[in-house]
C-alpha cells in the first residue's frame, strides 16, 4: 500500500469536492494507492441524504451575510458545518486492499475513529468517549464528527476535528439532527500550544498506523 498525504487549506468547498472525486478515480485505477486528504475549507453548511430543510436555522439573509455556502454532499447523515478552524480528513482508499471486505464499513469506521482518538490522546486529550451520533466526545461535547460514503469498496468523505471554537456557525443548523447538540474544540482542551499543521501530521501518522495494523492482520 502506497500512502499519499495531501493538504489543502483555504480551499473553496466546490474545489474540495472536485479534488475528492479526482482522487476517487485514481484509486479506482490503482487500488494499491491510498490518499489522506486534509483540508480547511471556506465556510460551508453541508447536508446529506437524510437531512431536512427545517434543520437549517439561519435565514437566507444570515447565511448570505456570513458568507456561508450551502452544499449537498453524497454521504449519508444530516446537516453539519465545515470551515476555518477545522481539520477535515478524508481517507480515500480501497477497503479490500487494506484487508476489509467491501461491506466491512463498521470495522473500517471503528479503526478510523480509533486512529483519530489515539492521536488526540498523544496530544494529551484524555477522558474521550465514543458515542452516537458516531463521533468522539469530550465531556459529553462532540470534538470530532464522522460522515463517510462508500462506492465499490472505496471510501470517501471522512471526519472533521474541531480545532478552534465552531459554536457560532453551528448555531445556524441542527447539527446531525440533534437539537441542542453541543461541540467543543481542541485548542480549549490542551495544556500546551499546538498548530493546525502539527496536529495534521500527527493525525496522518496515527491513522496510517491504525490501518497498517489491519493490513498486517491479513498477511
Q: Count Cβ atoms below 10 Å from residue 185 Cβ, excluding itself.
A: 19
Quickly list H helices, 123-164: none
Closest CA to 12 of 59, 82, 65: 82
d(C-alpha 165, C-alpha 186), whole Å: 8
CB atoms < 10 A from the CB of 67, how many?
A: 9
Is the C-alpha dihedral spanning 51, 147, 99, 37 positive or negative? positive
Q: Are 90 and 73 within 8 A, CB to CB?
A: no
List 65's β-bridge partners, or say none: none
pLDDT of residue 217: 60
Banded pLDDT at 180 (limits 50, 70, 90): low
Tens of pLDDT, residues 81-139: 999 999 999 999 999 999 998 788 999 999 999 999 999 999 999 989 988 778 999 99
- Count CB neighbours of 198 within 10 A: 11
The β-bridge relationship of strands 33-41 and 86-92 is: antiparallel
Of the two residues 160 and 79, the one the predictor is more confident about is 160
Which is the catalytic residue, given 176, 186, 199, 204? 176
- The pLDDT, as a whole number, for residue 219 is 46
Measured from the Cβ of residue 114, the count of other Cβ atoms closer than 10 Å reads 16
Q: Which sequence spans correspond to the domains of the chain?
A: 2-218
Q: Which residue in 90, 101, 82 sits closest to 4, CA to CA?
A: 90
Topology (CATH level 3) of domain 2-218: BirA Bifunctional Protein; domain 2 (3.30.930)
- 176 assigned to active site: yes
Q: Read off the pLDDT band of 181 (50, 70, 90).
A: low
Q: Is 142 helix (H, G, I), strand (E, B) or coil?
A: strand
Amino acid at each position: 500500500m502506497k500512502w499519499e498525504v495531501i493538504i489543502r487549506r483555504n480551499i473553496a468547498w466546490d474545489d474540495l469536492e472536485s479534488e475528492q472525486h479526482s482522487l476517487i478515480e485514481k484509486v479506482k485505477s490503482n487500488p494499491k494507492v491510498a490518499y489522506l486528504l486534509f483540508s480547511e475549507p471556506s465556510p460551508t453548511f453541508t447536508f446529506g441524504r437524510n437531512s431536512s430543510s427545517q434543520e437549517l436555522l439561519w435565514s437566507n439573509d444570515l447565511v448570505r451575510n456570513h458568507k456561508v455556502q450551502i452544499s449537498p454532499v453524497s454521504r449519508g447523515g444530516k446537516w453539519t458545518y465545515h470551515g476555518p478552524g477545522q481539520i477535515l480528513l478524508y481517507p480515500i482508499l480501497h477497503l479490500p486492499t487494506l484487508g476489509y471486505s467491501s461491506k466491512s464499513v463498521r470495522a473500517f469506521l471503528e479503526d478510523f475513529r480509533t486512529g483519530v482518538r489515539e492521536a488526540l490522546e498523544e496530544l494529551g486529550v484524555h477522558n474521550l468517549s465514543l458515542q452516537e451520533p458516531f463521533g468522539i466526545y469530550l465531556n459529553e461535547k462532540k470534538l470530532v464528527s464522522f460522515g463517510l460514503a462508500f462506492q465499490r469498496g472505496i471510501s470517501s468523505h471522512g471526519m472533521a476535528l474541531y480545532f478552534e471554537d465552531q459554536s457560532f456557525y453551528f448555531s445556524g443548523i441542527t447539527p446531525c439532527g440533534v437539537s441542542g447538540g453541543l461541540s467543543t474544540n481542541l485548542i480549549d482542551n490542551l495544556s500546551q500550544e499546538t498548530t493546525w499543521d502539527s496536529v495534521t501530521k500527527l493525525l496522518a501518522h496515527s491513522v496510517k498506523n491504525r490501518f497498517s495494523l489491519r493490513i498486517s492482520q491479513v498477511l
